Amino acid sequence: MSNQRSIKVALTGNPNSGKTTLFNAITGEIAHVGNWAGVTIEKKEGEIKKSLNKQAVQITAVDLPGAYSMSPFTSEENITSGFVKNENPDVIINIVDATNLSRSLFFTTQLLELGIPVVVALNKSDLTKKKGTTIDIKQLSKQLGCPVVETVATKGSNNGLEELISTACEVSDNGQRAPFDSTGVDMTDKKSVEASDKKRYEFVKGIVSKVEDRKVSSNIQTKQDAADRILAHKWLGIPIFAVVMWAVFSISQTHLGPLLADTFVGWIDMLYVGVEGLLGEGVSPVLSSILLDGIIGGVGAVVGFLPLIMILFFLLALLEDCGYMARVAVVMDRFFKKVGLSGKSIIPMVIGTGCAIPGVMATRTIKNERQRRTTAMLTPFMPCGAKLPVIALFAGAFFNDAAWVGTTMYFVGIAIIILGALVVQRITGEKHARSFFIMELPEYRFPSIKRATISMLSRGKAFVVKAGTIILLCNAAVQIMQTFNWQFQVVAEGAENTSILASIASPFALLLVPLGFGTWQLAAAAITGFIAKENVVGTLAVVYGITNFIDTEELALVADGSNVASVMGLTSVAALAYLMFNLFTPPCFAAIGAMNSEMEDKKWLWSGIAFQFGMGYTVAFITYQLGTLITTGALGNGFAAGLIVVAAMIAYVVHLMKKGEKKAEAELALSA
């Protein structure tokens, strides 16, 4: 194998051309696919599947971020341009969207000018046929001077992929080709490069007129246009989005999810009983407690939510694939622009609903430095997959699995993002900064069950891996700290407040009294949540001895017949405040690491973390105190102390905002 010839294939194309879908189809990888631009933010590599590779060579495909031009305007275009020019790929497969030929071929002509062998994959060709549009493949190949292969990356058979790989190997054998000239202009001169764009557009227009016969007139309003007038309407769009998200949470958290979770939790209970039987009575009670309550009980409590989470991921993947989430981005763009964010800020936040880490990493597509750093700081406010078990737990234990709880958390997150963006805009003094957002709306399509299933399984696998590593170790550590005191003596039953865990968490619990949850158990769960948000559920399971958070009937009667609210010492209002505190304070350590990488500035990083702490504390304080006042007619415990802390934080932020406004006025005066 070491002497086997290898071929490096670069996959390039415009955003939303089906490039990553094709990459997954030819490699068997499961890279994230979204039916909008900006999903791929860095190159990914994979070996071509043996079923498609009929050559005696090793073929490596490199999926590059979507680009409209070889003259990079954004960081992801810079990755693509740099790789193609500097990494010497043997052949370029240029994925061209057959439904938008004129736009796609502009980039194709630039690639052909590099002298590297190119094969055009005319993707989505099935959609053009449905519309009655025909493309003369032979004539297109003749005009471009390179092979053109029709592909349908979403199909499992007769998709043209084997022919595509075979053609790529064939042209790579021929080595460098003569550069293609579509403009007749000296490309070494910068002014000439700029002047050539007009000629290139004219050249592409001429090709399209020769090869494409489009039957559908653009003057006629299609069903797609009619749908957009409703779903992407500036006023109707948001309530429709709210209804959609409510339906998603209702299905995943209230109806279908719990039915599957009951069976899953039953298996975990069987494992618990089985291991308990294997251990027998001769095993040390401490070891038994760590293994059964700390590891199986704690991890099992988190993993028990896996069916709910996977159904949610599946439904969100369907929304992405059908093109709806791109409409959500358009609806939110008008609000984001008013607070100084880029329209591109929406994409990291949508990605962040799966996991905050890739969401934060996706901010590198934003060109403006201040907008990129602001987006990286605010993206973790969107509830991610790791926070879903926390949402599901409190929705089930305190609100009878009400779907409005999860839906509300998403919209509170959006509101905090908008408020936070406005604050940062005022503090930095860039009140008058302009933002541009150009986004191609993909066509609505029937979502692929296969792709949604693959996405669901991929995210579910990541959840299980985390549960089997980070969460397992953390819960074992929590159980050990709860079992022993500082003299490493076993804590007597009923004296858990003398344990190592209690002594560490108690000082933090005092700070949380004004928020309605000033006990060391709840403080300990919040602390471990900064390692991984799923740990909140695992730690609560360990410290309260509740291993089944799914069965609402069991939740109603735990620990000597008391209900879960009294065991945790929480009212429903305090439970809502605790939920918001865990959702809207800083994310896990890994996401903070991603923030550090994308911000590239320690001052911004620590300011962002402080802002997240302050925002989470303030939101929880207001929720608890105002909610308690409404439900009982009196303020909650610790109101005065909490008010002083919150007022001090708000006063400091207002001071920074005024300072920023003065800076902006001074800069405006100088420019005038």
Tell me the binding residues for GTP: 13-20, 38-42, 63-66, 123-126, 152-154
Contacts of 419 (CB under 8 A, 6+ apart): none
Task: Find tokens 């360990």 and name the residue.
Answer: 542
Q: Could you give the CA distance from residue 613 to residue 414 in angstroms, rounded to a whole number?
A: 17
What values do phi and psi take at 443, rounded to 5? -70, 145
Q: How do strand 134-135 and strand 212-213 relate by DSSP bridges?
A: antiparallel
Tell me the binding residues: 13-20, 24-25, 27-28, 38-42, 63-66, 123-126, 152-154
Tell me the binding residues for Mg(2+): 24-25, 27-28
CA distances from 154 to 52, 449, 450 (A): 15, 11, 9
Task: Find tokens 């305190």 and name the residue.
Answer: 398
Nearest to 97 by CA among 48, 142, 35: 35
Q: State the first-to-last Cα distance of the chain, in angstroms, to the nearest integer.
A: 68
Contacts of 446 (CB under 8 A, 6+ apart): 322
What tokens does 143 get? 């005009």
Q: Could you give the CA distance from residue 57 to residue 36 in angstroms, rounded to a whole number?
A: 34
Q: Could you give the CA distance from residue 90 to residue 176 in angstroms, rounded to a whole number?
A: 8
CA distances from 624 to 218, 570, 618, 629 (A): 54, 11, 10, 8
Q: Are 23 and 61 in contact (CB under 8 A)?
A: yes
Q: What angle do CA 149, 153, 157 make, to 5 degrees?
A: 90
- Torsion sign over Cα 83, 85, 88, 93: positive
Contacts of 498 (CB under 8 A, 6+ apart): 485, 491
Q: Are 443 and 323 in contact (CB under 8 A)?
A: yes
